Amino acid sequence: MDRRPAHGAGGPQGARHRQWPRRALLPEAGLDAITAQWFEDVRAAPPGPKREIEDWGALFTAVGPDPQGTRSFLLDLPAPLSGPALDHVVAEISRRRGMFGQALSAEDIAVPDRLLDPDDPAGLRHRPDVFLLMARTVHPGRKDRPMPTC
């Protein structure tokens, strides 16, 4: 039997990029809240949506693969960031700003705009306190399938 791997990953698991000032909660807490709402809207979009608790083992079992446990991976890059790690943080904030810009007030959108401005001294590329802390959890599964014939 061919044991083919299958993988599932949980919903929105926000990365952390820096300690945000209390009054500038938008980039972390605000974008996380908007991301969570976006996932809820996507899940509710198909006709006849049904709210379910994400139980990856049960979901895998329902479609065939046997759950193979859970694996979590932690990426902890301390400040100050540079090179590809800093590029990743800038790209992620930019992506989320683009995705959710319509849902933000002018005051809220000014925060990521300033952080993304390469000429602003308070921008991400000039800050010594930017870090990256991210966790990913993977739920692998395997399904016995006959080997394809040639």
pLDDT tens by residue, 89-142:
999 889 888 887 787 788 888 888 999 999 999 999 999 989 898 899 888 888
pLDDT 10s digits, 46-72: 777 677 777 777 777 788 788 888 899
Q: How far apart are CA 84 and CA 70, in angstroms?
A: 28
Give pTM, 2 decimals.
0.67
Statement: residue 9 has pLDDT above 90: no
CB 9 within 8 A of CB 141: no
Tokens of 75: 């990426």
pLDDT at 145: 65
Query: Exposure of 26 by Cβ count < 10 A (0-12 exposed, 13-18 middle, 19+ buried)?
Result: buried
pLDDT 10s digits, 31-47: 777 777 877 777 777 77
In terms of Cα–Cα distance, which of 7, 15, 13, 2 is closest to 133? 15
pLDDT at 1: 38
Higher local confidence (pLDDT), 144 or 73? 73
Statement: residue 10 has pLDDT above 50: no
pLDDT at 90: 93
